[in-house]
Structure 1
């Protein structure tokens, strides 16, 4: 049967999903034919994850339809029916590590045995049959925790196939794999395709799309943009579809926001050489006084772990980082703060705020030693400093005594930024500083970056948002843990995205 006449194995049309005022998906569309590997790509926030939750029956769309093999999708509560249609293998495997492969394959559905007694022998036999059927070369009695990541993924795929599913969603499956493991995974995917298995492949690395997929669908700004055969879509066109049109006015405004510096004449504040850990390798970079340097990369690039290392959250295995000529203390947040590092962490809820405390307490907790003597904090002094920070960051509040839990997302993030700035850091590390805030709050937060630059602070901005990175004097791109590109201010969206997605380098 030709592709033109084949009934789609999966077809989603007009999918809409809202969370309160936020539109997570406005026009989700996907048509996947039997036996193909179909790529779903788009930048963070494009709507990929939302579409996957609808395709796997984890939530119902507010509008639109999903069909499997021409038939309407099961009712949301019928989990067995959904499992017989589709399964999702995430970048972090969902198998139970302490159980054996066989136990994971038949978790909550142990094979029936005679007289109602459980039979380990029969479990082993049926697990072996499943593994052999799908050519998964793993010992059924092996403890799953002892398997390599790629083998744990294959166990998940085999479990889904044993329940009848022939449509497998692979969500960033290569994020934790090295090049050799990735190639083995792709070989297994091709073999399963020949056996009638269909894949939806989600990846930030576009070269993988060209290696293993036949068709690609692009989402952008919560909407379907295009679906095309991979062989007929040049890489430049794919990047353009993901990036959209470049808005000249926005680029001009961002270029004006980049304050001209003395360049090489400014002293180096952060000097990094050969920094290596399990998530990044041989990183070398500098940040000068009054310079804003961006770090870009996909979710598995190592950019966040690198930035967190400078803030004392991780300890690299080798390499050096000097702050004004003095070794940076790794693995000690308090010591990093004392050394002159201020940080806005990636998760304001889990890492950035203490929700049982007031705005004033949260904003000043990093400088308590400056607010009193002999361990005693002056109440009036703390209140004055907190009030000054509230005004400086334009935090909309009744005052420093208001609980921080009362604030909106944008104002809560401003409190986190206020605390980072309170210590007058020499190096300011900002990790996804505008995530989850409204447009007005985003602009207010980014204006703090400009102020820090003017004050001579060295700033490192790590972000998935292109608008955050436009304020930078230059942007370094990490790919699989290595710095692979540097873009000076004035870059175009498609240029940066091409580097992030691995299109312009090997």
Structure 2
């Protein structure tokens, strides 16, 4: 069998994180291969390596048995591989013809021969049966038309290997069927494709084989006909390791946070959500599900296009973080380094930031009151530090994350919104952080936990699963990993 594309024993690290650990893929000429795996499995890193955007630390990439070109030789890469992303790379202010021949326009001495450009563009669109006007502005095309133009552009460079990264995320049913018809005809012409999707049903419909990545490693490659749905989901989730046992509790009756009919273009549509005192509600879903965008809207980081957020019965002004904090909301951001703490300030200063106004009079902060509050938080969260004066930038990842939690909890919030709370921390820190959420909830707060980690979601009384911007399921406590992942990957049974 001729392998059109091979990546062998690829290792890629970003600082302490290993994104690919001796992973690889081999795709035969004219084959449509699916690549699936949960968020963080290593799929996008592999795509970046297969398209020459990243150089592997170890391992090799081959096209038709020949080593991949040097990273700097962009034209050589374009002749071998192209990627059609969920978000278009087409330039909206240029015409279709200009996009198709960007940086390779016909002409001499810097002058472009416009008629030749249009003629070549029409010829190219006709060849690949793309029903789009070459003179139209690219920004006026539909998502579907833009994708077809991108595919035609890729093929015109001579690339016979195309990566489609979640191409159906923004298409409706009929457009998806047309895309699949196009993919089948390309396959008949010998084009090799790698198809990445969170719709596992599509994998069975359009692909001949499937590769599963999990935790930066290659887990299995199989013909789709030989891998039943159950086994595919099991390969993606692995053995469930229960690192945290949730406490049992009965949520109260008071609604402390609600979102009604919330929509934000390109992120999520028409979401309703209520959280009661004493209740933990989880938000789960893939990277394109909209879960982080929704959580960030609840705390005021984004302004929804429509709908309202209410905390403790008070309607919040959209896009106003300070107002949300004043209303009784505490939050742990997704990126602790950018939004979570100020590295040069001390543990005490970071932890007591939100309540500085309460620790003194006339705008002056009482150092002794700040220290007492900081020491109380250091003890309750077991933060390993030389003391309240140590800069947060000197702490380990787990302890720095505890400082971010301390800041969220310092004012005894009525609502806690935490995004990926245990990313990059060890098991012991993980247990302390999830325990801190449960302590706050037992005191009567409501909490929203957004996470890619199934273990984080085990503390939830119910989990709302989002799929391409909508809440598709409200799963009560007691779900299995298999059941949750099947819904998250668009394959509800």
| Partner of residue 447, structure 1 | 435
**CA-to-partner distance for each residue in 1:84-124, whole Å, 9 max, x for gaps?**
111222222223333332222222333344x6643222222
Change (3 A) 1:393 1:180: farther
Alignment partner of 2:257 out of 254, 260, 270: 270
Deviation at 1:135, TM superposition (A): 2.2
Residue 343 (str. 1) matches residue 337 (str. 2): no
Alignment partner of 2:366 out of 375, 378, 384: 378
Residue 126 (str. 1) matches residue 120 (str. 2): yes
| Partner of residue 390, structure 1 | 378
Change (3 A) 1:424 1:321: same
Q: Give yes or no for contact 1:295–1:303 (8 Å, CA) kept in 2.
A: yes
Q: Please give the secondary structure, in 2, of the residue aligned with 1:9.
A: strand
Residue 166 (str. 1) matches residue 192 (str. 2): no
Q: Give yes or no for contact 1:134–1:192 (8 Å, CA) kept in 2.
A: no
Change (3 A) 1:341 1:134: same
| CA distance in 1 between partners of 2:487 and 2:33 (Å) | 23
Deviation at 1:266, TM superposition (A): 4.2
Change (3 A) 1:454 1:53: same
Residue 191 (str. 1) matches residue 185 (str. 2): yes
Residue 100 (str. 1) matches residue 87 (str. 2): no
**CA-to-partner distance for each residue in 1:341-400, whole Å, 9 max, x for gaps?**
111122223333344544433322222221223333333333333333333333333444
| Partner of residue 87, structure 1 | 82
Residue 70 (str. 1) matches residue 65 (str. 2): yes
Q: Size of the alignment, in residue pairs?
A: 492
Q: Give yes or no for contact 1:100–1:144 (8 Å, CA) kept in 2.
A: yes
Alignment partner of 2:414 out of 426, 432, 446: 426
Q: TM-score of the superposition, structure 1-length normalised?
A: 0.89
Q: Give yes or no for contact 1:273–1:319 (8 Å, CA) kept in 2.
A: yes
Q: Please give the secondary structure, in 2, of the residue aligned with 1:478.
A: strand
Q: What does residue range 269-308 of structure 1 map to in structure 2 within 5 Å?
A: 269-278=256-265, 279-308=267-296
Deviation at 1:337, TM superposition (A): 0.9
Change (3 A) 1:370 1:180: farther
| CA distance in 1 between partners of 2:355 and 2:204 (Å) | 51
Deviation at 1:36, TM superposition (A): 2.6
| CA distance in 2 between partners of 1:504 and 1:220 (Å) | 20
Deviation at 1:7, TM superposition (A): 0.7
Deviation at 1:33, TM superposition (A): 2.0
Q: Give yes or no for contact 2:464–2:471 (8 Å, CA) kept in 1.
A: yes
Change (3 A) 1:439 1:421: same
| CA distance in 2 between partners of 1:23 and 1:86 (Å) | 25
Change (3 A) 1:49 1:344: same
Alignment partner of 1:479 out of 454, 461, 467: 467
Q: Give yes or no for contact 1:100–1:140 (8 Å, CA) kept in 2.
A: yes
| Partner of residue 150, structure 2 | 156
| CA distance in 2 between partners of 1:16 and 1:275 (Å) | 41
Q: Give yes or no for contact 2:2–2:64 (8 Å, CA) kept in 1.
A: yes
Q: Please give the secondary structure, in 2, of the residue aligned with 1:281.
A: strand
**CA-to-partner distance for each residue in 1:131-174, whole Å, 9 max, x for gaps?**
22222233333333333333333333222222111111122223
Higher mean alpha-carbon deviation, 183-192 vs 224-233, is at 183-192
Higher mean alpha-carbon deviation, 305-314 vs 190-199, is at 190-199
| Partner of residue 437, structure 1 | 425
| CA distance in 1 between partners of 2:376 and 2:102 (Å) | 57
Higher mean alpha-carbon deviation, 378-387 vs 445-454, is at 378-387
Higher mean alpha-carbon deviation, 348-357 vs 448-457, is at 348-357
Q: Give yes or no for contact 1:258–1:473 (8 Å, CA) kept in 2.
A: no
Residue 143 (str. 1) matches residue 130 (str. 2): no
Deviation at 1:217, TM superposition (A): 0.7
Q: Give yes or no for contact 1:432–1:464 (8 Å, CA) kept in 2.
A: yes
Residue 490 (str. 1) matches residue 478 (str. 2): yes
Change (3 A) 1:356 1:190: farther
Q: Give yes or no for contact 1:389–1:418 (8 Å, CA) kept in 2.
A: yes
> Mind listing any 5+ residue stretches in structure 2 that lack a counterpart?
none
Residue 214 (str. 1) matches residue 208 (str. 2): yes
CA RMSD of aligned residues (A): 2.5
| Partner of residue 3, structure 1 | none
Change (3 A) 1:439 1:112: farther
Q: Give yes or no for contact 1:340–1:426 (8 Å, CA) kept in 2.
A: yes
**CA-to-partner distance for each residue in 1:230-286, whole Å, 9 max, x for gaps?**
233221221111111234xx2xx63xx3222234x5433234444444333343333
